[in-house]
Amino acid sequence: MIHRMLRYPADWEWHVLQLERPPLETTEELPKRKENRKKADPSKASMTFTAPPVTGDDFEEQLACKRILPECSGWLDECWGRQVNKVTVAHYANQDTIVSGTLMLQASEEMTDVQPFHFWLTAGKLVTLHTDLRLMIRLQDDSVTSRLKDCSSAPEAFFIMLGQLLGPFHAGLDGFEKRLGELEQAMRISNRTGLLDVIFERRYDLLHWSHLFIPIRELYGAAQEAFMDTLTETEVFKRTTYKLDRIDSLLKHYALEIDTLISMDDALSSFRGNDIMKTLTIFTVIFTPATVIGALWGTNFKPLPWDNHQLGFAGMCVVILFITILIYVWLWQKGWTGDLLTGRDSNKNKKNQTRIAMSEEQLTERSESIATEPDLSKLSRKRRSKTI
């Protein structure tokens, strides 16, 4: 275990606990619906992690942490090996309010690369526990260290760190937005049947990011409850508020877009099904006379009409063709053979609409001309007054 204690000019401390073991390996990503539908376990998701077995080295590291920070011994017992989000607020009469817990943070743009970040926070002390070196490297950036020196309290510094750790979250959302835009473009160009699976994959991705964002919102509210005006009036907290609102609006916008895509796919599928059923119905009605006449004329009864006649078969074919054409013409007059939006009826409606528009334009022109013409009665009155 590596322990570092940093003291800042405003008299608050940051204790960094880095465990000397590789980061925990995540489980496999959520399988695709089409390929592994039977193999996928619905109780597992891409956010689940495998807890490592407790060894003697872990126990020794835990004891070492308790010796260094005895006031955090209860928190260490709870968070050791935890792989889920948890945020707690504890109010004590004889000491400061404590905000502690675990955040599952995105370590990179890969959805399965989520690592635990344990924290213990009071007004004058911040303790962080993690196993991934990338988190500490990100917190040692020059832009972060220079701002930590100007912080007046540990909660203010913690929100600066939180904003820095949300960098991969923003990058992941940008990648998600790019994939969502490609999906919308593909759906607009050619609405294939396999796009529904892609839409649901994007929906699962959005659930992943939403699941990561919920505990951050919970921590935001817990910090407000614990430190109140001493934290909420700071510039760092206000910037974090704007950042979280921006992420929240993005997630809501993405959810609305995916719901719209699903609704559009359902509507297009229903229209396509209606067209298919309409086509099959038309074919069935058109070939019904040929089926009926062929069935009747092919029975084993003697004698049948035109059975022994030289032109019986040709005459029967002509009758079938005539009845088929007659039925098709009847369907065509009803407007049931073509598209309802661009068929004969729609053309008639367009002509009628153009006629109505032309008549309305003529009426408006006529009314304007009438309005501009002088009143004859007034002119006659003026002439009479002049003559008198």
The reply to whether the predicted model has a pTM over 0.85 is no
Paired strand residues for 88: 100
One digit per residue, the tens of pLDDT, for the chain of length 388 reads 788 888 998 989 999 988 865 444 444 444 444 444 444 444 344 444 444 444 556 778 888 888 888 888 889 888 888 889 999 999 887 778 999 999 998 887 777 888 899 999 999 999 999 888 888 888 888 888 889 988 999 999 999 999 888 888 888 888 888 888 888 888 777 766 677 888 888 888 999 989 999 999 999 999 999 998 889 899 999 999 998 999 999 999 999 999 888 888 888 778 777 878 888 888 888 888 888 877 777 776 677 676 677 777 788 788 888 888 888 888 888 777 765 434 444 444 554 555 555 555 555 555 555 445 444 444 445 444 444 4
87 bridge partner residues: 101
Residues 133, 18: contact at Cβ < 8 Å?
A: yes
Q: State how far the alpha carbon of 348 is from the alpha carbons of 155, 328, 336, in Å.
A: 72, 20, 15
CA dihedral of residues 50, 55, 61, 67 (deg, nearest 10): 120
Question: Which residues neighbour 27 within 8 Å (Cβ) at sequence distance 6 or greater?
Answer: 44, 46, 48, 49, 50, 112
List of residues 6+ apart from 288 with CB closer than 8 A: 327
DSSP annotation string for 264-320: HHHHHHHHHHHHHHHHHHHHHHHTHHHHHHHHHHTSS-SS-TTSSSTTHHHHHHHHH
Q: What 8-state DSSP symbol labels residue 214? A: H
Residue 121's CB is within 10 A of a number of other CB atoms, namely 26
Q: Whose CA is closest to 250, among 165, 164, 166?
A: 166
CA distance linking residue 207 with residue 204, whole number of Å: 5
Q: Please answer whether residues 4 and 15 qualify as being in contact, where contact means their C-beta atoms are separated by less than 8 angstroms.
A: yes
pLDDT of residue 383: 46
